[in-house]
Structure 1
Amino acid sequence: MILSSLLVRALLVFFGICGLAAIVGSVYQMQASAADLKAHPVPGRMVNVNGLNYHLNCTGTGTGSPTSILEAGLGESALSWYPVQAKLAQTTQVCAYDRAGLGWSDPADGPMSLEQVATNLHTLLRNASIMSPFVLVCHSRGGIFCRQFYRQFPSEVKGLVLVDSTHEQGAFREYPYAQADYFKQRIQIAIAPLLSRIGVIRLMGWANADRQPSPLPADILAAKTAVQNRTDTTLAVVNEIAVMRKSLDAATPPPSSLGKLPLVVLTAGKGIDIGLAEREAIASNSSVENAVAVARIESTSQEELAALSSNSKHVIADRSGHFIMYDQPDLLVSNVLELLNSVRCLSPRDC
């Protein structure tokens, strides 16, 4: 009985300490988030979309249209386009925005389907008086959102630039350790919201933008860190991954044809380099077989994306990792401008 009583007391003390730590962590997270947003105000403007305030940052005017719309990748904000937006703005109006819960945008109640994301972007542009036509420039997971936008609003899209875009069936093409990776991902998305709410992610620096070498200036890195440490951002990433994981279903259809739509596919050369994959796997003491398989899958996926249009151009950014806008921004800008010039509307009648 004495041992049992001591055990109960020990457990009560343990859970009491855990509860107190969680409360302190939650207060820390809320206060730090408020301070971050005060230190890094919205760089663009907020536009209401069905009750949610979305961040939209449009710069430049240019001559004629279309307007370039920048769609970021998974968990990324409008700031990910910093190295290229100012350069594009010298020639055209260019708009970057934050999906629900990301950057400075309000969070949604739950996961959004591809159709909802596309519809919300369309409503955002309409409410902000950003008139079509558009050229969509889309990074990573953003490529899937942009292709969905084109499916829903084809008459408003003049061209598409895919920047190391995700393939709809990419996750289904399993590499040797895919199931183990998917399981780890499931654990991570299950605990991430709690860890964010009690300040653990912020305290450990797991969402900090400067964890990896970056060409972004210090003030932009600080702003990225601020918004990425929001609990809303963690929830938004978890929601987007929840939708992504549906592509693990064998019934997931391949990306649909884009017809004759002007298309540029920019592929990260480092992502499809078999030799580099082998060397990095050996250096990190990880599976060479796995690394090579992933590189081959990525190469196949990028070739299939380039084949979606009969009017396409496939460019290998040979010095780039996944973030081509960081590694070879001038290459990205030149290809966007080339496409823009080929579809340029000099008057409303042209569009």
Structure 2
Amino acid sequence: MVSWFNKKQDDNEEPGASRSRSREDRSPNAHASAPHYEEPTERTRLIQQTNDPGYLSPDDPAVSPYNLWSVRAFRALSLLALAASFVWWTFLLVSIFVSPPLIHSRGSGFFAFAFVTLTLGQLALGLLFFVVPSKPMSICGIILAVLLLIDMGIILGVGGIRREEGWVGIGSIAWAVLISFHQVFQNQVVTWGKREEEERLTGREETRRSLREWIAVLLELIILVVMTLAAVLFTATLILRARDATLKPLGTRYSVHGDTYQVHLVCVGNRTEDSNEPTLLLEGDYGPVEHDLQPFIDDIYQYGTISRYCYWDRPGFGWSDNAPSPHSAGMSADVLSEALALADEKGPWVVVSAGVGSLYSRLFASRHLLEVSGIFLIDPLHESYLSDIGQPKRGFLLWLRGVLSPLGLDRLAGALFKGRTREDRVMGSSAYQTGKFIKAKLQENLVAVTMTSAEVQSARHIQMGKTPLVVVSSGKKMRADSEWAKKQEDLSHITDELLAWDVVHDAPHEVWTDGEGRQVLEKRLKEIVKASRKPKL
């Protein structure tokens, strides 16, 4: 009975007790012990609210450096920089084929394109692995930034490179340096933010990585090592360019085409106003004229066979700058005319050319009918072969070579293992490896079957019929290609005054490298100079 009574009494007291506890809960002391609600802050608003006072799991999505505004700000800056870099990269890509106003580079433009491509790669890599920072990423980033800073110092410090790259190249390398340091700071900020959020939300820094994170770190390390090696090669190639820039030109550089670029012109021999001797005007074949035709002509000048000659570097060759794109053979002929006028050279001229250079000489002759007193062609290229020069596949390969040219693999190997000199690289056998030369050949390819072909056809119609003409052809080339033989015969009829058409039996395309070929050339040069003498009044 007592137990039952006590239990009944407890049951009866329960409501009162509840009311008593309710009153206690509403007391000021109860408020002091209850959890206090806070408005979400910048640091906590992305975290899922929970009544659990304990720490979160390290794998919880709420444990993220994105909780910090500084981390999100760096990511937003990287996205903006990526968009700006892509726009600039597109402009540089287009300028290789068609130069927009004010974006023409006197150099090839491939270095600027390479720096911006590297910048795009850095930004894309940083965004792709944004929340997976690592020490290797920081180390490679610092090395990359230092190398690019050295590159900028070389470009700014060496006058020849600074002039060739212009504001386009300088702006591109400066942007690359800025982004490199931005990536280094970004990696540090994300690392700090990740550690801080882990300590705050999980109670400790998470030092373990998942398999997925290790794969990401390995992948970004491989890509960064490739980028760093590319930057090392950029630096080595720039050092080689700085060395080449110390080689002084043999003649004078003249600003042409509205002072947008310069071409190199040399004249050898004394000029007298009352002389009726013509001046030989040389045009080289595939490469710089200093490497192929000019040494032979200089030899016969030293022997006294001729009294005076001039030669120049076409845009992109030797000491001449690259011209804006597009650039045709006719434009080159006009630029040569401008350079000769600036040098106060008036002729009369006997144009002497070899291979593809014959197209340029013929265009010059057709635009200076009264000044050109003779045409001398050495195994010349017929205009029907312009379709071979303008093949799309050839153009793509030239573009690809140009894009890879800042790495300088062939130039560095030649300098380190073959003893190639700066003369070889500027005007010799290795000149074809330079970005300027590749750009010039790409320009030649782009307009070969359109602008240049039309210009040469017009020149053939305009050419004065009474101009003395000599053609010397390679016997080896003609025997190997019957079509080439027919075209050589056709070129012997571009004027009505054919002095001679010689086929040197054992001579290669470079006829002057053969003993018999040199004798024939020297003999015919004497004859055309004599036939071209301007009569005294």
> Does the alignment reach a TM-score above 0.5?
yes
Count of equivalent residues: 314
Query: Per-residue CA shift, 1:16-69, capped at 9, x if unaligned?
Result: 22222222122111210221232x321222223232222112112385321110
Matches within 5 A, 1:200-239: 200-205=409-414, 224-225=428-429, 227-239=431-443
**1:85 corresponds to:** 298
**1:148 corresponds to:** 363
**1:339 corresponds to:** 528
More deviation, 115-124/314-323: 314-323
Give how far 1:302 is off. Answer: 0.8
Distance in 1, matches of 2:418 and 2:301, equals 24
Name the SS for the 1:155 alignment partner.
coil
Give how far 1:339 is off. Answer: 0.3
Distance in 1, matches of 2:456 and 2:283, equals 23
**2:484 corresponds to:** 298
Q: Between Structure 1 and Structure 2, which shows a larger proportion of helix residues?
A: 2
Change over 3 Å in CA distance of 1:87–1:251 after alignment to 2? closer
Letter in 1 for 2:447: V
Change over 3 Å in CA distance of 1:191–1:60 after alignment to 2? same
Distance in 2, matches of 1:103 and 1:224, equals 9
Is 1:310 matched with 2:496? yes
Distance in 2, matches of 1:64 and 1:228, equals 38
Give how far 1:220 is off. Answer: 6.5
**1:31 corresponds to:** 239
Matches within 5 A, 1:109-120: 109-120=324-335
**1:288 corresponds to:** none
Give how far 1:94 is off. Answer: 0.1
Letter in 2 for 1:193: G
Provide runs of 4+ in structure 1 moved above 6 Å. Answer: 208-211, 247-252
Give how far 1:237 is off. Answer: 2.2
Distance in 1, matches of 2:474 and 2:523, equals 16
**1:163 corresponds to:** 378
Distance in 2, matches of 1:343 and 1:241, equals 34
Name the SS for the 1:88 alignment partner.
helix
Letter in 1 for 2:531: S
Aligned 8 A contact 1:117 1:145 in 2: yes
Q: Which of residues 52, 63, 69 in structure 1 aligns to 2:281?
A: 69
Q: Which of residues 385, 408, 431 in structure 2 aligns to 1:199?
A: 408
Higher relative contact order (CA 8 A, sep 6+): 1
Give how far 1:262 is off. Answer: 0.9
Query: Per-residue CA shift, 1:57-95, capped at 9, x if unaligned?
Result: 211238532111001123323332212223136322101
Name the SS for the 2:308 alignment partner.
strand
Is 1:45 matched with 2:45? no
Distance in 1, matches of 2:445 and 2:374, equals 27
Distance in 1, matches of 2:223 and 2:332, equals 41
Query: Per-residue CA shift, 1:219-261, capped at 9, x if unaligned?
Result: 9757514644432222222222323354899999597254232
Aligned 8 A contact 1:29 1:199 in 2: yes
Is 1:266 matched with 2:472? yes
Q: Which of residues 509, 513, 517 in structure 2 aligns to 1:322?
A: 509
Q: Which of residues 2, 7, 13 in structure 1 aligns to 2:221?
A: 13
Give how far 1:303 is off. Answer: 1.0
Aligned 8 A contact 1:101 1:235 in 2: yes
Letter in 1 for 2:477: G
Change over 3 Å in CA distance of 1:250–1:37 after alignment to 2? closer
Letter in 2 for 1:302: Q
Q: Which of residues 279, 289, 314 in structure 2 aligns to 1:99?
A: 314
Using the aligned pairs only, state the percent identity.
23
Distance in 2, matches of 1:111 and 1:18, equals 34
Letter in 2 for 1:142: G
Aligned 8 A contact 1:54 1:99 in 2: yes
Name the SS for the 1:335 alignment partner.
helix
Aligned 8 A contact 1:59 1:93 in 2: yes
Letter in 2 for 1:68: L
Change over 3 Å in CA distance of 1:248–1:139 after alignment to 2? closer
Aligned 8 A contact 1:209 1:224 in 2: no
Distance in 1, matches of 2:341 and 2:256, equals 10
Distance in 2, matches of 1:247 and 1:209, equals 39
Letter in 1 for 2:377: L
Distance in 1, matches of 2:455 and 2:535, equals 44
Give how far 1:118 is off. Answer: 0.9
Change over 3 Å in CA distance of 1:16–1:245 after alignment to 2? farther
Aligned 8 A contact 2:285 2:357 in 1: yes
Change over 3 Å in CA distance of 1:331–1:148 after alignment to 2? same
Name the SS for the 1:263 alignment partner.
strand
Change over 3 Å in CA distance of 1:152–1:326 after alignment to 2? same
Name the SS for the 1:61 alignment partner.
coil
Gapped regions of structure 2 (runs ≥ 5):
1-208
Distance in 2, matches of 1:195 and 1:255, equals 37
**1:138 corresponds to:** 353
Q: Which of residues 177, 182, 187 in structure 1 aligns to 2:396?
A: 187
Is 1:243 matched with 2:456? no
Aligned 8 A contact 1:139 1:162 in 2: yes
Gapped regions of structure 1 (runs ≥ 5):
173-177, 212-217, 275-294
Query: Per-residue CA shift, 1:285-313, capped at 9, x if unaligned?
Result: xxxxxxxxxx1121111111112222112
**1:56 corresponds to:** 265
Distance in 1, matches of 2:299 and 2:408, equals 34
Change over 3 Å in CA distance of 1:128–1:79 after alignment to 2? farther
Change over 3 Å in CA distance of 1:255–1:119 after alignment to 2? closer
Q: Which has the larger radius of gyration?
A: 2
Give how far 1:318 is off. Answer: 1.9
Aligned 8 A contact 1:74 1:141 in 2: yes
Distance in 2, matches of 1:34 and 1:88, equals 33
Name the SS for the 1:14 alignment partner.
helix
Distance in 2, matches of 1:239 and 1:161, equals 26
